[in-house]
Amino acid sequence: MQFRIRVPIIIGLLIACCHAPANAQINSGWFPHHAPLPPVEPCFDPRPIIGCYRDPGPCWLGQTSFDVLMFSRSDADSRAIANTRTSVDFGPPAGVVELLGADVANTTDLGFPVTAAFRFNLVLPGENGCDLVFNYLGSHFDVSRTFDGATTGYPFFEFGLSPLDDSVYQTSYESSLNSFELNSRFRHWSHVAPLVGVRLIQLDDTLSQLSADATSQLDSTKATNQLWGFQLGAEALLWDGGSVRLQTTVKSGVFYNNLDLTVVGSDVSKTNSITMVTTTIDPDASFSTGHISYFGEMNLELAYRVGPHWAIRVGYAAMWMDGVALAPDQFDSFHLQSGVGTFNYGTVLYHGSYVGLEATW
């Protein structure tokens, strides 16, 4: 509820920044005074310009772009997801008990393949050298692997070996990223434009064990990271060739991370080795906490203008988050029956090339 109340206030502050008094009007796009401007700006005045300012006012109403990114994501910390089954005879009354043996596979063996992500950008120019910039980025990673339950099993929190039968099972690892941001961009200089804004990032990380045909779920562990806070950054024009430009964007921020861990699984039967009494345990549990996390982003882009309204963009993007919780990293940190545990935090890196289309009107 507090977050919902603060959102209109924060957006109002960003809009107020774009209506602060200014001495002149902004130049349009990233076209400096010595380069020919596209026909979309019929009121271009060729007289000298100070920085990014000129008079009369801007002749463009907005700009939007859509990018397809080929993203790679770093692995979670190495942790066993399949072990050999080892039978140990403890004698009466316990008898023969199956335990976890040597590692067969770990989370690094589940490495995510390169996956397509999508990014949308919308820019609304201000009359005083300040633009409102909205960005959305979304990605979804998914990988799975099948194991023979007759010879292997997997560790499930404090319950030890799973599954208890010899059925074939499938380990699935999914990770989704959604990022929303609203920035004020101050184009008061010819080659650098500072950015200040707010950002909401949600990272959902899920490790599941499924039946061989993936029609039923044995258990699932989901870590949800919801980061929100302020960020600072800048856009910079590195090289201008008229219709071709090379530019970069950097952003970073400190975020409050609202963390949730949700565990869902089938009932587990445990037999006391002394009394031989069997107890059925429901492993379902949830944990929550707050944490300070860090985020950084960098883009290097080459844009080529193919007409008065259109440009093609190619570039390379990298994003990192530190202080986030990933599902596979939590198994050794929580005891479901007692409800006691501590989140294990890590770092995630996304990077890859992209291609996109930019439109100005």
Average pLDDT for residues 16-32, to the nearest whole number?
A: 41
Residue 237 pLDDT > 60, yes or no? yes
Q: Is the pLDDT of residue 213 over 50?
A: yes
pLDDT tens, residue by residue, 332-349:
888 887 888 899 999 999
Kindly report the CATH class assigned to 2-360: mainly beta
Both structure tokens of 295: 């985020």
pLDDT digit string, tens, across residues 261-270: 999 987 776 6
Q: Kind of pairing, strands 268-271 and 310-325?
A: unpaired
* Averaged confidence pLDDT in the chain: 81
Given a contact cutoff of 8 angstroms between Cβ atoms, the answer to whether 162 and 168 are in contact is no
CA-based radius of gyration for the chain: 27
Check residues 188 and 65 and name the one with the higher pLDDT: 65
Q: Name the pLDDT band for 9 (thresholds 50, 70, 90).
A: low
CB atoms within 10 A of CB 223: 26
Tell me the percentage of the chain whose pLDDT exceeds 70: 76
In the numeric block, which tokens belong to residue 168? 């074939």
Task: Convert the pLDDT of each residue in 296-327 to its tens digit.
Answer: 999 999 999 998 889 999 999 999 999 999 99
| DSSP state letter for 198 | E
The pTM is what? 0.81
CA angle 227, 206, 149 (to 5 degrees): 165
Q: Which residue has the higher pLDDT, 199 or 20?
A: 199
Number of CB atoms found within 10 A of residue 205's CB: 25
The domain segmentation of the chain, as residue ranges, is 2-360
Taking only the tens place, the pLDDT of each residue in 76-104 is: 888 888 888 876 665 665 555 667 778 88
Dist CA 296 CA 61 (whole Å)? 30
Contact 321, 348 (CB under 8 A): yes
Residue 216: per-residue pLDDT: 85
Residue 56 clears pLDDT 90, i.e. is over it = no
pLDDT of residue 203: 98
| pLDDT score at 276 | 61
The residues near 49 (Cβ < 8 Å, ≥ 6 apart) are 27, 32, 33
